[in-house]
Structure 1
Amino acid sequence: MKRVGKMLMTLSLSALMVSVAACGNSNNKEAATGDASQSPSQTAVQSPSASPDQKNEVVTVSTVRKSDPYLKFDEGEDFDHNSVYDAYEKDAGVKITNKWVADDSQFKEKVKMAIATNDLPDFMPVSATQLKQLVEADMIMDLTDLYDKNATQNTKDFMVRDGGLQMKSATYDGKLMAIPMTGNPFNYQFLWVRTDWLKKLNLPEPKTMQDVMNIAEAFATKDPGGTGKSYGMAFNKSLYEGSAIGTWNGAESFTGFLNGFGAYTKLWYDDGSGQLVKGDVQPQMKVALKALQDMFKKGLIDPEFAVKDDQKEGELIFNNKIGLVYGPQWMPAYLAAGAVKDNKVVQEWGVFPIPSVDGTPGKSQMGLGTDDYYVVSKKAKNPEGVIKLLNNWIVVDNNQTEENKVYEFGKDRVEKSSNYWLLNPLTVYNQTNNNGEILPKAIENKDESLLQTKDQKGRYARAMKALGGDNSVWWELLISGPKGASSLVPDLQKNERFMRDKFYGAPTPAMVEKEAILNTKRDEIFVKIIMNQVSIDEFDKFVAEWKKLGGDQMTKEVNEWYAQNK
C-alpha cells in the first residue's frame, strides 16, 4: 500500500502501473525507496490490532475523502459502501461515514472551508500549517489521554520508530494534538549511471563530483548512445523534488547534485555553532550553482529542462540521449521504460552513493518524513474510534493474511491494479526498515527463510522472477539485489551519510507570511543562474534580499524554537 497521491505521476499509465508495483505494498515514501534505518526491531508488526474490549460495540466516526483517478471500485461499491469500510466495522468495531468526498482539485479548498466554518468531520487529514491553525483556534481535541488509553502497545512502538520526532511534531505544549501520517525519512538520493556507456568509453566509476562532471561531458560529447545528439545529465522543471512524489525524493532532481557540494536546499541545519541556518543561502549553494552553470554552458544539460516534466525529460533517457541521473531508490522502475524492450535488457544501469567534492559518499538531505496529520474534532462523539482505526491499519498493512487482503485488494482479495487500498481512511507507514541488510543476501543466496516482512517477501518474489528471465520485473534486482540501491544503504546509515532537517515545528509567523514569496524568488534566480541568463554573483544579491524580506526574521523564529526543542 502506498500514497498514490504522491506517486510518480509523470509516466504513462502503463509505466505508472510498473512504478506502482515497484513501490511494493507500503507507503510510497518508504516502500519505493525500500530502505532506512537498520533497527533491530524490524520484524513483522504483531497482532492483535485491538484491545480486548475494542469490538464489544460498534462506534461511528465521520471523515472526508479525496477521490483518486486511479482508484477502481469493485462492482456495486463506492466511497460510502465498500469492502474496506465493512472490514473496519467487522474487525475494529468502527463504522466509517463520509461527510463529503471531493476530487483532488477541490479537496484542499473544501478542507480550508471546513476549517473556516468550523464544520469539521470527526477526523480528517490536514497540513502542518492547518494543524497549527486548528490548535490556535481550539477546534481539535487533545489526544494525549485518548491515545494513551486506546492505542495498543504495538501502535505506540510503531509510531516512534524514527526516534519520536514525527510524533513530537504533532505535540503542542506537551499535548498530542494530532496523529502524524508517518513515513520513512531516510530516502537517500543515488547517482544512476549507464554502466554500459562507462565501459564503452573506458571511464572510471564516479567517486567525486569532478568525476560526475567528467562523465557528463564524455556522455554528451562522445554520444555513446549513437543518437547524434546527447546530453550529460537529466534534470527537469521540478528542480529539487524532480516529480510529484514528495520532498527531495524525485527522479531527475537537482537535490543529489547539490548535496554532493554540501548544499542543502529548503533545509534548516546546525552550522556548528548551535544555530540553525537555511541551506538555500549558504556559500556551498553558490559553488554548486556555479558548477551547474558551467555544465549548462558546455551543453551538458538539456536547454529545455526548465519547461519539461520528468516524463518529457525521461524520453531523453529512454531514447539513449542521457545516461546520468540523480534519483531515489525506486528509480529502476522509472528507468525500465527504456531499459527493457520486448523482455530484453537493452540498457545497463548501475547505482552509486552520491559522490561529494572530496571523494567521500555525499550526505543526502532528509526531511521529517511526514507532511500531513490526522486531527480529531472537539465535537467528535466517539474519538476513540479514530485510534481503533489506527491500531487496525498498522496490523493489516504490516501483517498480510489471506483474510485481511480485503484492505488492499477488495472483497475478492486478488491484486488487480485497482489501487483499492486508497479506501483506507487513515494510513500511517513504517518509519524504518532493514531491507538493505536482508534482501541482497536473501536474493544472492536464494534464501527465503531470511525474509521478515510483507514488503521483503514481495520484493524477493519479483527478484526471483527477474533471475528466472522475466525482465518485466528487472527493476527489482537493481533496487533490492546484491548490486542494488538497497545494498548501499546499511553503510550509508551506519556512517550517517545524511543531513536531517533540524526544524520540524509548525511554520513560524514569518514563514506563513513570507516563505512562499521567498521560495519563488529562490527558484527564479537559481534557474536563471543555471541557464546562464544571469551572473553567478546574482546569488549574493538574492541572499541579501532573502535576509531583508523575511529570511532574517524566519531564522530568528526558527532558532527560538530550536532553543526549546534541541
Structure 2
Amino acid sequence: MNKKTKALSFGALALCLAMTACSKDAKETQNQPDNATSEQGSKVIEVSTVSPSDPYLKFDPGESFQKNAVYDAYEKDIGVKITNKWIADTSQFKEKVKITIASDDLPDFLLVNATQLKELTEADMILDLTEVYNKHASEETKKFLTMDGGTQMKTAMFGNKLMGIPSSYNPYNYQFLYVRTDWLKKLNLPEPKTMADFMKIAEAFKTQDPGGTGKSYGLAVSKNPFNSDTGVTGLRAFLNGYHAYENIWIDDGRGGLMNSDIQPQVKQALAALQEMFKKGLIDPEFSVKDVEKEAELVYNNSIGMVYGASWTPAQLAKGAVKDGKVVQEWGAFPIPSVDSSPALSQIGLGVDEYYVISKKAKHPEGVIKLLNHWIAVDNHPTEEQKVYEYGKDRVEKGNNYWLLSPLRVGKQMDNNGEVLPKAIANKDSGILETKDQRTRYERAMKYVNGDTTMWWEYLISGPNGAYSLVPSIQKNKQYLQNKFYGAPTPTMADRQEILLKKRDEVFFKIIMNQVSVDEFDKFIEEWKKLGGDAMTKEVNEWYKSKK
C-alpha cells in the first residue's frame, strides 16, 4: 500500500501502465448532522478533498466514491467524514488540480506538486501546518516522516513554516544491471563486475546471437532513457557507471552545487554509447521506440542486458515466463564501474508531491487524523482494519481499495534487503517484520513451490535477487542523492523544460553518431546561456541559505 510504483508491488507496476480518459464531478452528498458521533464517541468532523478515479480501483456492488466501506471505516474509527468536491480520471487529474488552484476553489486538502506548493504558499491560500501538525500528529507519525533524518519534511518548509505534508516514498530505490545468465553460461562469459566486462558481454550477445533470432543487440534503450525511471530501457544507471548523473545537483568541490548534466563524465559516457551504437550493440531504431516497443526485443530473445529498478523483474516476466515455464534466466547485478571506484546509484529525495490544507478549512485537524490513521493501519493493521485495503469483506480480490484512502504516505526506509533473502532461503517466515515483507515472502515461496507466475518476485526478493544487493550499497554508501531539495527556482520553473529538451536532442545525436562527441562542449555553452547559469546561481543562493 506504499505510494509509488516506484514501491513496487506487481499491482503498483500495473498502475503505471494504462490510463483511461474521462472526468466527472462527484455528486453532492448531504452533510453529517452536527451532533453525529463516531463509534469512539467523538463528534464527527467533515473534510473535503478531490480524488483521481483510477482504472484499477474497482468498487463492490452498490459502492462508489460517495459511499464506500473505506470512507465509512474512517468515519467510524476516527470520526472523520470524507467528501469529494470533484473526481477526475487519472489522465486528467493533474490538469483539473491546476484549474482548481487558478479558480481559488480549493477543497479542505489536496495533493499538489512542488511548484504548486510554492505558488499556493506565496498566494497565501494554504495553511501553515506547524501548529496543527505539532499538536495533532501522533508520535508514530512524527517518527515515520523523519526516518530519512528529516530531509523530506524540510522540502515542505518555507522559512520556519511547514506548508505541506510530503507524500513520501523510499528514496533509496537503486538501479541494477539485469543480465541473461543462461546466455552467460551458454557463451562461457563471466558475470559483469566492470564496465569492460559489460562491453565484452554486449559484443558477445550481439555477435554470437545466443537467442538465435538473427537480430541481436547488446543493451535495451528506448526513446526516453534519461529523464525517466524506465525499467527495461533506461540509461541513467549506464551514466552512473561512468560517475555521471542525470539532472541532479552535486557538490562542485568549492562549497557550492553544480548541475550534473554538464560534467565531463557525461561526455565520456556518451562517447561509450556512441561507440556501442556504431558497433550495432544498440537498436538503431531506439529513438522512435517507447518502452514497451523496445522491450519486445527483450521478451523475444534479441537483447539480454537491461538497466532498471528493483521492480524491473515484473516487466521481464513478460518474456521470461511462457506457458507456465521459465524460458529466460536473468540475474541482478550491481552497476558496473568504468574504473576502480564503485559506481554510485543516483537517487532522488523520495518526495515530489505534497498534501496541503486550505486556509479556509474548518477542521484541519481532521486531515492530520487521516494521516495518523493511514500510517497506523498501513504498517500494523488489525484484522478489522483490513477493510482499508480489501473493502468490506476484508478479502483480497484485486479491487485496489487502498486507493480510496485520500491521504497516503510511504515508508522512507526499509530493511527488505536484510530480511527477505534470508527468510526465503531458509523458509523462515518468523523473521518477517512488515506487511510488505510478508506479502513478498508469500509470493516468492509460491515460486519456490512451483508457481512460475511468481518468478519475478523471486528475482526481486530471493537470495540472489535485487534486494539482496541493497545492504552492501547501503553499508558502503554507494549512492548519490540530489542535494537540491527546494521548490523550483524561478529560472528552473521557466527554463528547465527547454534545457532538458535541448540536452536530449544533443545527446541523441551524439549517441546515434550524427555529430561528434565534441558537440557536448558546445551544448555546455548553450546550456549556460539558455538559463543554466542563472539557474545555478539561484540554486546556490538557496544552498547558502540552508547552511
TM-score range, shorter chain: over 0.9
Does the alignment pair 1:127 with 2:127? no
Contact 1:251-1:310 at 8 Å conserved across structures: yes
Q: For 1:4 and 1:268, how far apart are their aligned partners in 2?
A: 23
Task: Determine the structure 2 residue equivalent to 1:297.
Answer: 278
The amino acid across from 1:200 in the alignment is: K
Equivalent in 62, 70, 87 of residue 84 of structure 1 = 70
Equivalent in 452, 458, 461 of residue 471 of structure 1 = 452
Q: For 2:41 and 2:52, how far apart are their aligned partners in 1?
A: 28
Does the alignment pair 1:106 with 2:92? yes
The Cα offsets for residues 465-518 of structure 1, whole Å up to 9 and x where unpaired, read as 111111110112111111111111101001000000000000001111111111
Aligned CA distance change for structure 1 residues 4 and 490 (closer, same or farther; 3 Å)? closer
The equivalences for 1:230-249 within 5 A come to: 230-241=216-227, 248=229
Does the alignment pair 1:206 with 2:187? no
Superposition deviation, residue 54 in structure 1: 8.1
Q: For 2:392 and 2:39, how far apart are their aligned partners in 1?
A: 26
The Cα offsets for residues 116-155 of structure 1, whole Å up to 9 and x where unpaired, read as 1211000000000000000000110000010000000000
Moved more, 202-211 or 548-557: 202-211
The amino acid across from 1:478 in the alignment is: L
Task: Determine the structure 1 residue equivalent to 2:409.
Answer: 428
Q: For 1:454 and 1:551, how far apart are their aligned partners in 2?
A: 45
Equivalent in 95, 100, 120 of residue 81 of structure 2 = 95
Task: Determine the structure 1 residue equivalent to 2:293.
Answer: 312
Task: Determine the structure 2 residue equivalent to 1:32.
Answer: none
Aligned CA distance change for structure 1 residues 21 and 521 (closer, same or farther; 3 Å)? closer
Task: Determine the structure 1 residue equivalent to 2:174.
Answer: 188
Q: For 2:542 and 2:193, how far apart are their aligned partners in 1?
A: 38
Task: Determine the structure 2 residue equivalent to 1:179.
Answer: 165
Task: Determine the structure 1 residue equivalent to 2:48.
Answer: 62
Q: For 1:22 and 1:369, how far apart are their aligned partners in 2?
A: 17
The equivalences for 1:438-477 within 5 A come to: 438-477=419-458
Contact 2:126-2:359 at 8 Å conserved across structures: yes
The equivalences for 1:304-343 within 5 A come to: 304-343=285-324
Contact 1:262-1:284 at 8 Å conserved across structures: yes
Task: Determine the structure 1 residue equivalent to 2:10.
Answer: 19
Task: Determine the structure 1 residue equivalent to 2:366.
Answer: 385
Does the alignment pair 1:220 with 2:206? yes
Q: For 2:237 and 2:490, how far apart are their aligned partners in 1?
A: 30
* TM-score, normalised relative to structure 2: 0.93
- What secondary structure sits across from 2:545 in the alignment? helix
- What secondary structure sits across from 2:178 in the alignment? strand
Superposition deviation, residue 360 in structure 1: 4.5
- What secondary structure sits across from 2:247 in the alignment? coil
Q: For 2:413 and 2:129, how far apart are their aligned partners in 1?
A: 24
Moved more, 211-220 or 104-113: 104-113
Does the alignment pair 1:527 with 2:508? yes
Moved over 4 A (4+): 2-8, 52-55
Superposition deviation, residue 406 in structure 1: 1.2
The amino acid across from 1:296 in the alignment is: F
The Cα offsets for residues 60-79 of structure 1, whole Å up to 9 and x where unpaired, read as 00001111122211111111
Contact 2:148-2:412 at 8 Å conserved across structures: yes
Q: For 1:298 and 1:54, how far apart are their aligned partners in 2?
A: 70
Equivalent in 552, 559, 564 of residue 533 of structure 2 = 552
The equivalences for 1:480-491 within 5 A come to: 480-491=461-472
The amino acid across from 2:417 in the alignment is: G
Q: For 1:118 and 1:384, how far apart are their aligned partners in 2?
A: 22
- Structure 2: gaps of 5 or more residues: 17-37
The amino acid across from 1:84 in the alignment is: V
Superposition deviation, residue 6 in structure 1: 6.6
The amino acid across from 2:212 in the alignment is: G
Aligned CA distance change for structure 1 residues 350 and 54 (closer, same or farther; 3 Å)? same
Task: Determine the structure 1 residue equivalent to 2:244.
Answer: 263
Moved more, 510-519 or 184-193: 510-519
The amino acid across from 2:202 in the alignment is: A
RMSD between aligned residues: 1.9
Does the alignment pair 1:253 with 2:234? yes
Contact 2:248-2:259 at 8 Å conserved across structures: yes
- What secondary structure sits across from 1:221 in the alignment? helix
Contact 2:48-2:85 at 8 Å conserved across structures: yes
Superposition deviation, residue 405 in structure 1: 1.5
- What secondary structure sits across from 1:99 in the alignment? strand
Task: Determine the structure 2 residue equivalent to 1:284.
Answer: 265
Contact 1:55-1:92 at 8 Å conserved across structures: no
Contact 1:353-1:361 at 8 Å conserved across structures: no
Task: Determine the structure 1 residue equivalent to 2:32.
Answer: none
- What secondary structure sits across from 1:70 in the alignment? coil
Q: For 1:356 and 1:53, how far apart are their aligned partners in 2?
A: 59
The amino acid across from 1:474 in the alignment is: W
Superposition deviation, residue 109 in structure 1: 2.2
Contact 1:508-1:557 at 8 Å conserved across structures: yes
The amino acid across from 1:227 in the alignment is: T
- What secondary structure sits across from 1:266 in the alignment? coil
Q: For 1:360 and 1:446, how far apart are their aligned partners in 2?
A: 36
Using CA pairs below 8 Å that are at least 6 residues apart, which structure has the higher relative contact order? 1
Task: Determine the structure 2 residue equivalent to 1:11.
Answer: none
In percent, how many aligned pairs have the same letter? 66
Contact 1:232-1:322 at 8 Å conserved across structures: yes
Task: Determine the structure 2 residue equivalent to 1:48.
Answer: none
Task: Determine the structure 1 residue equivalent to 2:355.
Answer: 374
Superposition deviation, residue 213 in structure 1: 1.4
Aligned CA distance change for structure 1 residues 557 and 283 (closer, same or farther; 3 Å)? same
Moved more, 463-472 or 131-140: 463-472
- Structure 1: gaps of 5 or more residues: 9-17, 29-51, 242-246
Q: For 2:6 and 2:187, how far apart are their aligned partners in 1?
A: 38
Aligned CA distance change for structure 1 residues 4 and 413 (closer, same or farther; 3 Å)? farther
Q: What is the number of residues matched between the two proteins?
A: 526
The Cα offsets for residues 515-537 of structure 1, whole Å up to 9 and x where unpaired, read as 11111111111111111122211
Contact 1:248-1:365 at 8 Å conserved across structures: no
The amino acid across from 1:159 in the alignment is: L
Contact 2:136-2:368 at 8 Å conserved across structures: yes
The amino acid across from 1:199 in the alignment is: K
Q: For 1:87 and 1:64, how far apart are their aligned partners in 2?
A: 19
Task: Determine the structure 1 residue equivalent to 2:482.
Answer: 501
Equivalent in 134, 152, 155 of residue 148 of structure 1 = 134
Contact 1:465-1:473 at 8 Å conserved across structures: yes
* TM-score, normalised relative to structure 1: 0.90
Contact 1:183-1:430 at 8 Å conserved across structures: yes
Contact 2:2-2:409 at 8 Å conserved across structures: no
